[in-house]
Amino acid sequence: WVRPAAMFLETVEIAGVLTPRFSRLADAKTP
């Protein structure tokens, strides 16, 4: 899917840690 560029600049809170959203996507694509 396609997301606005702003989405990739945001950070998301995972397990109480702010993580760049892009890293989430990269992890999801990792075998």
Look at residue 3 and give its three-state secondary structure: coil
CA 18, CA 31: separation in Å to the nearest integer?
23
Give the pLDDT of residue 22: 58
The residues spanned by each domain of the chain are 1-31
CA 7, CA 24: separation in Å to the nearest integer?
12
Q: Are 19 and 11 in contact (CB under 8 A)?
A: yes
Q: What is the pTM for the complete model shown?
A: 0.17
**pLDDT (mean) for 3-22:** 57
Tell whether the model's pLDDT for residue 20 goes beyond 50: yes
